[in-house]
Structure 1
Amino acid sequence: MAPASYREWVSLLFSALRKEPRSPKYKYRTTIWEAKELLRERNRASLQIDTSKEVKIYSNRTFLKLSPDRALNVLLRDFQLQPEQSFRLIRTDVAPRKKLKSPDENWNKVFPLFENRIVEELDLSIPKCAFERESFNYCYALGLWSRDKKTRLSQIAWPHPIFSFSCVGLGVRPEVYSALKEEGHVFINPANSVELPYFSVDSKLVPKHCDAVALCPRYVPEHVTLFEEGAININKDPVPCTGEELSAVTQAITCTYLPLLSKEPFRTCGDDLAIWSPTTDGALDKRVFTLDRLYGHATLHKRFWSRATYTDRSCPGDIIRSTILSNNSNMLQLMEEFMKHYTTFNLYSFCWRTLNDQSSAVYKLKDPVSFTGEVKPWDAFIWNEYQTLEKLPVPHSVDELVSLKAQFDEFLKHLSRYYAMVTCEMKQQMAEFFVTTDADSEGGRFQDTPRVVPTTLILRDILLNGKWFKHFYPGLHLLMSTKIPSCDKLDDCFVPLDDTSIALGCKLDKLVKEILLVESYVYGDKIPPKKLLIVNPSAEDENWKIVILIKDSIPNHLLKTLKFNTKISIQIVKDIRQATGVENGSCSWKKMIDENVFIYAYKLETEPSATQEDTNRMIKNVIDEMHKGN
């Protein structure tokens, strides 16, 4: 049996489907593919960015061969990066002789997973690529302990770790050299465990802020004279440092700085990452569930997000990203993340439609200065939840990130039910929800503001200006930022709040949750294994009735709005004995919201229709009685 959270998302998904606009322009399948193209354009712009702000990710496998839990560590860093920074993926293992997929095909699945810009994978597993693409320069500082663990050089200028086998000695400042020589310390190259002889060199050869410099005679002619003739062979083809050896060097890095030629100061480096996958005799353990396999399983449901005519039918990156962030990478979780993504798209779609509809009052409103009109309890409740979510800090660990994801998902449920109540208002008010005839001269306030104005402004601010949507759904957020007119973030007190309204909004939110769950149960909503998402016909409506028992006082006009959540008949009573039409029905659903509010769902018994045999028997009996009367 599916977990409660999954069933809840099924109810929210199908509720969104029943409210979906008819125009293909605003539908999920026909629009969501644009997100990948926008992300692609964003990454092309990364070619012109400052490479000094790149965060390098070293891995002994391609990114898609990482397990979700290891990819989660990379996505944590993605949350923490500044907008001006970017990623560069660097593969360090020995490349297999036969590659099953082209680099382009792999890359099309990698870049949509990231919020920040990411430079295409650099494959250092091929020596030619390693030494042609990664030019030699001192751009790191290593910290090395002496063999006896008694002293440490904390700032040794070191080239890119790929060149570590070419580091054959250390050049130290004269004052440092004397102390080391006197005590007889020995230092070891972390890449190959070979002793590094050290020499006293002119301070000009040692970068500022450093204690020593790695000597690389093959690349630095000044270093050749420090060694005895014939001691080293600078003409020998260099061997790239990869795999576990490169990992050992990376772990010794203490900071990184710009190349010496730029004469820039050090910057703190704990930014770069090393992600190593478990191997067996040099090969990836096939038992490990990888991102590539997750993408493969997702193709079973490609009809949900693409059409048969599309060239690229791979799963949207936001869905894979969210599955990773949930720290529960299985097919059930993947489908749950799809439902969240689809439902969130419909929230964006509502803002997209109303803010581009020139006949709508919200289209004409410029720079709103305050909330106008009646504040509904669901306005107060969602705004309070929004402000709570906004105050959460950026996560600093995987556990904090997974916890944040759970809180964000819970907020998404509240926001989806808020939209459900907004659509109830649309059905109830009809045209009055959208238009107004009386505006003041300032153009910033409406005297008779229709409900479309505050509800749209609330949703737009949450979806576009909220702190977390761009982190969890970077593709969808980027897409809708191009379709929905931007605006300044609303003031925190835009929606007037009080404890009574928030509490009532919370109670109504729970009622909406149960109503949608009952509706989904009645209609038999489920994710079809090999078909498109189809809303079942409402033929069962007449055979069911929802009874809501409310002992405390809730304004009638709010309860009337609540009834528009479903076509199933709803009766609200203060005593269960007041319920009508359920005498012969069976109670199939009962839930306590609190000590004063209960919800029941009854399956009504209908009179069985007479069969043809029954009809013939009845006619025969009537004829027999007539004959007896004669």
Structure 2
Amino acid sequence: MVNWQTLFMVSLRRQGSSSRYKYKFNMEDITHRVFPRCKQAFKKTNLKYEYCDIGGSLYNISLMSLQKLLLRDINAADGNAFKIVRTDLVEKKSNNRIQHWEQIAPMFDHPLSLYEISLSEMNKEEFRPSFEWQQLIKVRSPDEKFKLERVIWPKSVFSNFCRGIGVRENTYDRLLKQNNGELPVFVNPANAKPLPLFKVTDETAIGEFDGIGIFPYFVDAHKTFFVTEIDKLKAKIASPLCNSNERKRNEKANTGRLLENEKGKPFYLDAKNVTSRVADGNITTLKHLLERSVSHKTLWSKQSTKDRTCPGDVLRSTVLSNDFSIRQLRNEFCKNFILYNIYTILQRNKKNTRDLTPETNITNFHFDWKVWDSYIWKQFQETESMEIPVDQVSLVNYRVKYDLFLEDLQTYSTLVIAEMKWNQSSIFQNDEAFLSRFEHIALVLQTILTKSRIIKTFQPNLYKFMQDDLQSTFFESVSFTDSINATIEPTFANEQSLQSANALKKFANQLLYFEQKIYAEKFHVSRPIQLRPLTLSDNYKIVILDKQNAMPEIFETLLKFMTQIKTYFVKDLAEVELHGHMHCIDKKMLDKSTFMYLYELKYNETLKTTPLPQEKIVDNIIDLLSNDTES
């Protein structure tokens, strides 16, 4: 599991010194760019809307329902806009402005209309509200002789559309027998209208429950129950949505909530109340999330910032994470911060890339890729090959891949910064035939930051900001993707290259872990986070034991420039013991012949701790392995 707060500290220590490049000085502007984009979109005469019906105000929407809206946002066509349709409003409101629109609109990739409308204002021929099975209800016969306790039912607002109750064959036969050969009729709890009984042949539609409401207006399969012309006509006629009294009567008949079924599988009961997920302080609605996020405003804003609302990308990715907690909101902030700081590597060095025109023949250039370029490009290609999520199941998988990719991208950026320190005198040198080393880096980073669908999915505002800001550079005017694929993949084609890249990633990540252990800054939310002085690292040393002397020299040099901590590479444990004036406070086995040790000067006692028993056992095993002589 990724420790995002550790990676946040790593990123914070490497951010640009000028305030113009710092996260807090730019995040308000990045978020507020949503507003002119929305304004521009709604000036279009041929704007196409995605109508989203909800049963209350958007500000009070449940986070599970908001997640479904955001999934629609992810899959909506470019150029479309979103408009909220209120199914709980029978009549048009005098004030139809969306409450707290300025805080909510930045959560959407597509423009969100400032105004909502009631369902009664919609053209019923052109718009049909979304229909979902959401609950179980109890239905009774008029004389209350027969009851079905758990009948699958949609939102209460659609109860008037019900035309009957479907049951399994054995239930159908039992009720027929119990009623002396006559089919009993049940009563719609919302409007008291009679509901005839139907035999359902596909029992998977009912699953473990007693029956299912028949809604032919919404469910095509239910139309087969109506055979006469008059019945077919009745099935097509739209009923009025339930008024508040009818909804209340239906909700009194509620006997449970449902979770969506997977395709071809029955529904199942929401026994753990997942649909109103409670986590870390009862955050169940957007209103709660916005209110709770205020306590963390020092993370993303200065005291002088006018709008200290949580950035829309952070709120969006929290809802898409499936973990509706403040803890997760902190993690999503860290990811947003990390990605922004990766972008500033390009922003700070625009002047160091040459000007090219679209007519430039890029095939004339010679490319010289490093193994860390090849590795991150391979990860990028894998993420881009994934299908965009359309439901919660695919969203979970997409989310896991995004987290792993962002962690790799952060590692790549720290390696790049180390390389820039190492080769600061030559990294920007280029000529007519060769791209500079930095232009190679910029080529990879800019392509990822401005073309990645997975970044756009979770952080659309930052993604668009990066696109806008980087479009003036030479890479935007020339398509380099084919050239990268043609030249980078041959350098990463063999198994040895892959193993080498994975080894470098392990070394780099462990080095960063040791770095954070030394500085050990606290992740504050009540006041600005303060970094400890870099001179603190003078009291520490990192020793890497490479028993097989397998590490390439370029890796050794790169890792030495990756951190302020003095780093040594040795081939024998006896060489480690030369540092006898220090004591080991942490160690890590990376593979059977490679070990990393963190040493502290003996007179510096501030970070010394007594290892826990299980940690002592692990240390002993590592000691035995590191002392083992291979034949």
Instruction: Give yes or no for TM over 0.5.
Output: yes
Residue 573 (structure 2) pairs with residue 576 (structure 1): yes
The residue number in structure 2 matching 1:98 is none
Counterpart CA distance in 1 for 2:245 and 2:82 is: 20
The residue number in structure 2 matching 1:151 is none
Where do residues 202-351 of structure 1 align in structure 2 (5 Å cutoff)? 214=237, 241=243, 289-351=284-346
Counterpart CA distance in 2 for 1:565 and 1:502 is: 21
Counterpart CA distance in 2 for 1:92 and 1:325 is: 24
- Secondary structure in structure 2 of the residue aligned to 1:601: strand
Report how far residue 537 of structure 1 moved. 0.3
Report how far residue 245 of structure 1 moved. 5.3
Where do residues 78-97 of structure 1 align in structure 2 (5 Å cutoff)? 78-93=73-88
Residue type matched to 2:63 in 1? P
TM-score of the aligned structures, taking structure 1 as reference length: 0.68
- Secondary structure in structure 2 of the residue aligned to 1:374: coil
What are the Cα deviations for residues 110-150 of structure 1, in whole angstroms up to 9, with x where unaligned? 111111232235153xxxxx65x54675644999xxxx9xx
Counterpart CA distance in 1 for 2:129 and 2:320 is: 32
Alpha carbons of structure 1 residues 385 and 551: separation in structure 2 relative to 1, 3 Å: farther
- Secondary structure in structure 1 of the residue aligned to 2:453: coil
What are the Cα deviations for residues 342-387 of structure 1, in whole angstroms up to 9, with x where unaligned? 0100111222233x31x43477995744874432111111111111
Where do residues 103-122 of structure 1 align in structure 2 (5 Å cutoff)? 106-122=100-116
Residue type matched to 2:14 in 1? K
Residue 463 (structure 2) pairs with residue 467 (structure 1): no
Counterpart CA distance in 1 for 2:444 and 2:248 is: 51
The residue number in structure 2 matching 1:378 is 372
The residue number in structure 2 matching 1:542 is 538
Counterpart CA distance in 2 for 1:380 and 1:300 is: 41
How many residues are treated as equivalent by the alignment? 490
Counterpart CA distance in 1 for 2:585 and 2:364 is: 45
- Secondary structure in structure 2 of the residue aligned to 1:312: coil
Q: Is the 8 A contact 1:384 1:502 kept in 2?
A: no
Residue type matched to 1:559 in 2? E
Q: Is the 8 A contact 1:544 1:568 kept in 2?
A: yes
Counterpart CA distance in 2 for 1:106 and 1:532 is: 27
Residue 553 (structure 2) pairs with residue 556 (structure 1): yes
Q: Is the 8 A contact 1:34 1:479 kept in 2?
A: no
Counterpart CA distance in 2 for 1:10 and 1:352 is: 24
- Secondary structure in structure 1 of the residue aligned to 2:387: coil
Counterpart CA distance in 2 for 1:370 and 1:64 is: 55
Q: Is the 8 A contact 1:326 1:406 kept in 2?
A: no
Residue type matched to 2:503 in 1? K
Report how far residue 429 of structure 1 moved. 0.8
Alpha carbons of structure 1 residues 363 and 245: separation in structure 2 relative to 1, 3 Å: farther
Equivalent residue for 1:495, pick from 467, 488, 493: 488
Report how far residue 586 of structure 1 moved. 2.4
Counterpart CA distance in 1 for 2:248 and 2:114 is: 20
- Secondary structure in structure 2 of the residue aligned to 1:592: strand
User: Which stretch of the first structure deviates more once superposed, 521-530 or 565-574?
Assistant: 521-530
- Secondary structure in structure 2 of the residue aligned to 1:423: helix
Counterpart CA distance in 1 for 2:49 and 2:497 is: 48
The residue number in structure 1 matching 2:583 is 586
Residue type matched to 1:495 in 2? I
Residue 357 (structure 2) pairs with residue 360 (structure 1): no
Report how far residue 593 of structure 1 moved. 1.7
Alpha carbons of structure 1 residues 483 and 538: separation in structure 2 relative to 1, 3 Å: same
Residue type matched to 2:531 in 1? V
Alpha carbons of structure 1 residues 396 and 36: separation in structure 2 relative to 1, 3 Å: same
TM-score of the aligned structures, taking structure 2 as reference length: 0.68
Alpha carbons of structure 1 residues 84 and 489: separation in structure 2 relative to 1, 3 Å: farther
The residue number in structure 1 matching 2:432 is 439
User: Which stretch of the first structure deviates more once superposed, 24-33 or 360-369?
Assistant: 360-369
The residue number in structure 2 matching 1:401 is 395
Q: Is the 8 A contact 1:318 1:474 kept in 2?
A: yes
What are the Cα deviations for residues 410-465 of structure 1, in whole angstroms up to 9, with x where unaligned? 110111110111111110111311233x314xxxxx2xx32101111000111111
Where do residues 21-32 of structure 1 align in structure 2 (5 Å cutoff)? 21-32=16-27
Question: Gapped runs of 5+ residues in structure 2?
Answer: 132-140, 142-155, 163-184, 196-228, 251-269, 271-276, 606-631
The residue number in structure 2 matching 1:430 is 424
Report how far residue 59 of structure 1 moved. 1.9
Alpha carbons of structure 1 residues 400 and 295: separation in structure 2 relative to 1, 3 Å: same
Counterpart CA distance in 2 for 1:362 and 1:337 is: 36
What are the Cα deviations for residues 225-254 of structure 1, in whole angstroms up to 9, with x where unaligned? xxxxxxxxxxxxx99856975999xxxxxx
Q: Is the 8 A contact 1:94 1:242 kept in 2?
A: no
User: Which stretch of the first structure deviates more once superposed, 27-36 or 369-378?
Assistant: 369-378
Q: Is the 8 A contact 2:157 2:247 kept in 1?
A: no
Alpha carbons of structure 1 residues 10 and 189: separation in structure 2 relative to 1, 3 Å: closer
Alpha carbons of structure 1 residues 312 and 246: separation in structure 2 relative to 1, 3 Å: farther
Residue type matched to 1:514 in 2? Q
What are the Cα deviations for residues 258-300 of structure 1, in whole angstroms up to 9, with x where unaligned? xxxxxxxxxxxxxxxxxxx9xxxxxx99966222222222212
Report how far residue 494 of structure 1 moved. 4.4
Q: Is the 8 A contact 1:92 1:242 kept in 2?
A: no
Equivalent residue for 2:467, pick from 461, 476, 481: 481
Coordinate RMSD, CA, aligned: 4.3
Report how far residue 544 of structure 1 moved. 0.9
Q: Is the 8 A contact 2:299 2:525 kept in 1?
A: no
The residue number in structure 2 matching 1:387 is 381
The residue number in structure 2 matching 1:61 is 56
Residue type matched to 1:539 in 2? T
Residue 438 (structure 2) pairs with residue 452 (structure 1): yes
Counterpart CA distance in 1 for 2:357 and 2:583 is: 51
Counterpart CA distance in 2 for 1:600 and 1:239 is: 69
Counterpart CA distance in 2 for 1:67 and 1:165 is: 24
What are the Cα deviations for residues 540-577 of structure 1, in whole angstroms up to 9, with x where unaligned? 21211101112342221221111111111100112222
Q: Is the 8 A contact 2:59 2:99 kept in 1?
A: no
Counterpart CA distance in 1 for 2:246 and 2:345 is: 52
Question: Gapped runs of 5+ residues in structure 1?
Answer: 96-100, 125-129, 149-160, 168-185, 197-205, 217-237, 249-276, 278-283, 441-445, 609-630
* Bigger radius of gyration among the two: 1
What are the Cα deviations for residues 9-46 of structure 1, in whole angstroms up to 9, with x where unaligned? 23322222222122222221111212222222222244
Report how far residue 85 of structure 1 moved. 3.2
The residue number in structure 1 matching 2:520 is 524
- Secondary structure in structure 2 of the residue aligned to 1:87: strand
Residue type matched to 1:461 in 2? T
Q: Is the 8 A contact 1:10 1:520 kept in 2?
A: no
Counterpart CA distance in 2 for 1:480 and 1:190 is: 54
Percent of counterpart pairs with the same letter? 27
Q: Is the 8 A contact 1:465 1:489 kept in 2?
A: no
Counterpart CA distance in 1 for 2:245 and 2:399 is: 33
What are the Cα deviations for residues 451-507 of structure 1, in whole angstroms up to 9, with x where unaligned? 101111000111111221111110101111111023536123441322322221111
Q: Is the 8 A contact 2:582 2:602 kept in 1?
A: yes
Counterpart CA distance in 2 for 1:421 and 1:210 is: 68
Q: Is the 8 A contact 1:550 1:572 kept in 2?
A: yes
The residue number in structure 2 matching 1:12 is 7
Residue type matched to 1:93 in 2? D
Residue type matched to 2:331 in 1? E
Alpha carbons of structure 1 residues 367 and 530: separation in structure 2 relative to 1, 3 Å: farther
Alpha carbons of structure 1 residues 489 and 34: separation in structure 2 relative to 1, 3 Å: farther
Counterpart CA distance in 2 for 1:107 and 1:247 is: 32
Equivalent residue for 2:411, pick from 400, 412, 417: 417
Report how far residue 64 of structure 1 moved. 3.0
